[in-house]
Structure 1
Amino acid sequence: MKPSRLLSRLLLGAAAILSVAAARADELSLAVAANFTAPIQKIIPAFEAATGHKVTLSTGATGKFYAQIKAGAPFEVLLSADDETPAKMEKEGLAVAGSARPYAFGKLVLWSAKPGFVDDKGEVLKGSGFAHLSLADPKLAPYGLAATEALRKLGVYEAVQPKLVLGENITQAYQFVATGNAELGFVALSQVMKDGKVAEGSAWIVPTTLYNPIRQDAVLLVNGKGKPAAEALLAYLKSEPARAVIKSFGYDLP
């Protein structure tokens, strides 16, 4: 066979392989609770490299995503900050029945950007040394609800209520503290943890006895039914590489 014919056949074969791969590759519209922003930003590149699928990521408050999806937003998978929203979406026909599964259990932390400001028992909440306490809106964000549960169990909710600064989601609650607009705030442990410890400032990891468990469920939305990328991502979250990333940010694993 002439070299030119051989080269042509090899090029045609390569083109065929690429076309098959392209046909199998899929794009995913993914909605992720704000507390899980840092882990998912590490997971997505590994997922894309392993599968060939591409992900369009949106992060925000779980409550807002619920409202958007109910209004017709074309998301295909939701990684929620709770388990109640996915369950409700299944009942309302917004998600595929029986598809909700936990991917992480979140932890709440009281954090200040100032070293030494937050003590290791949270006693700072009982003092008068702060003017603003940041947390996510409890009507929209499960971490905000957990924060109010903890404040009530500690018996300080009424005293600190005038000082509360509500963020639309946990990212905004974190930003209020990071920028100094609030001296301290309740955020997700994943937002301040690096290499197994709080990276900067001072923090008190709130005992889980002070708030209901933050079980975070992933759910396949009706727009994602039968979509290869959607099903592949839900499977990938159970893989050892993904679980290692999730654990490194301070989450408990299901």
Structure 2
Amino acid sequence: MKRTARLLAMLFSAATAALAHGAEVQVAVAANFAGPMQQIAEAFARDTGHKAVLATGATGKFYAQIAHGAPFDVLLAADEETPARLEQEKLAVPGSRFTYATGQLVLWSAKEGVVDGAGRVLQGGNFAHLAIANPKTAPYGAAAVETLAKLKLYDRLQPKLVQGENISQAHQFVATGSAELGFVALSQVSRDGKFTSGSGWIVPAFMHRPIRQDAVLLVKGAANPAARALLAYLRSDTARGIIHSFGYAL
């Protein structure tokens, strides 16, 4: 009896410890959302006991990795098409997809006074390099190309374009001075409605297709309680407050 009691006590103790530490969820995060997601992951761990393990990169590359069996539980994409495609291909849980944020594109320079409030600096063309994310794999890059086409500047400025693998690399090109200007995510250069450095022009929404960013539960995370908890947490007031502070529409 004593041995059984000790065994039950050990099992209860182990279960309690596991519950206290929560579970882990592997999250593929679009590069533009890295900043807010780091803050959300910290709040998520504090409030639920679960741990979100983050990997950031281009949405298009994440799609290829997931299709080849990458062990992600949740995808936070930079578009709405990729999660829908994963759902159609039975790689995501039907009905789990929703828009967690709508991104804003900004033309940005790391230097003060370079970019005016209407983006007229593009018309002048007095710069050697204009950074964008790869439009084939990064929705913000596609939005940048659409904006230049809308302004009838794409053909003229194409020789000056330098492509980053994702929006983080495009931002890095501008931040380090490798490119004088770049189209980046507003979330990368602003907090609470103000630019944190440099100068920028927030591109009007009508100049490109809406950058609706969808989240989806992947098949590999269907039985993971932490994965479902994270998706629910993204809709909480705490998460929405963080998302809004980084310049996203909700």
What's the TM-score, normalizing by structure 1?
0.92
SS class of match (1:200)? coil
Query: In the aligned structure 2, how far is the partner of 1:20 from the partner of 1:101?
Result: 33
Query: In the aligned structure 2, how far is the partner of 1:14 from the partner of 1:134?
Result: 58
Query: In the aligned structure 1, how far is the partner of 2:221 from the partner of 2:87?
Result: 13
Partner in structure 1 of residue 30 of structure 2: 33
Q: Deviations over 1:177-224 (max 9, x none)?
A: 000000000000000002320111000000001000000000000000
1:175 aligns with 2:163: no
Of the three residues 152, 155, 164, the one matched with 2:152 is 155
Query: In the aligned structure 1, how far is the partner of 2:71 from the partner of 2:80?
Result: 21
1:19 aligns with 2:15: yes
**Contiguous gaps of at least 5 residues in structure 1:** 1-8
Query: How has the CA–CA distance of structure 1 residues 15 and 226 changed in structure 2, closer, same or farther, with 3 Å as cutoff?
Result: closer
SS class of match (2:29)? strand
Amino acid at match of 2:176: T
Partner in structure 2 of residue 84 of structure 1: 81
Q: Deviations over 1:149-180 (max 9, x none)?
A: 00000110000000000000000000000000
Partner in structure 2 of residue 146 of structure 1: 143
Q: After the TM superposition, which parts of structure 1 deviate over 3 Å for at least 4 consecutive aligned residues?
A: 12-18
Of the three residues 39, 42, 49, the one matched with 2:39 is 42
Partner in structure 2 of residue 98 of structure 1: 95
Matched-pair contact (CA < 8 Å) for 2:192–2:247: no
SS class of match (1:110)? strand
What's the TM-score, normalizing by structure 2?
0.94
1:107 aligns with 2:116: no
Using the aligned pairs only, state the percent identity: 63
SS class of match (2:101)? strand
Amino acid at match of 1:19: A
Shift of 1:226: 1.8
**Total equivalences in the alignment:** 243
Shift of 1:50: 1.1
Aligned pairs for 1:235-250 within 5 A: 235-250=232-247
Partner in structure 1 of residue 199 of structure 2: 202
Shift of 1:94: 1.0
Q: Deviations over 1:97-127 (max 9, x none)?
A: 1211000000000000011000111111111
1:190 aligns with 2:187: yes
Query: In the aligned structure 2, how far is the partner of 1:139 from the partner of 1:250?
Result: 24
1:124 aligns with 2:113: no
Matched-pair contact (CA < 8 Å) for 2:110–2:197: yes
Query: In the aligned structure 2, how far is the partner of 1:33 from the partner of 1:21?
Result: 33
Q: Tell me which moved more, 145-154 or 193-202.
A: 193-202
Query: In the aligned structure 1, how far is the partner of 2:121 from the partner of 2:101?
Result: 29
Q: What RMSD, in angstroms, separates the aligned Cα atoms of the two structures?
A: 1.7
SS class of match (2:75)? strand
Amino acid at match of 2:241: A
Query: In the aligned structure 1, how far is the partner of 2:130 from the partner of 2:160?
Result: 6
Query: In the aligned structure 2, how far is the partner of 1:18 from the partner of 1:208?
Result: 52
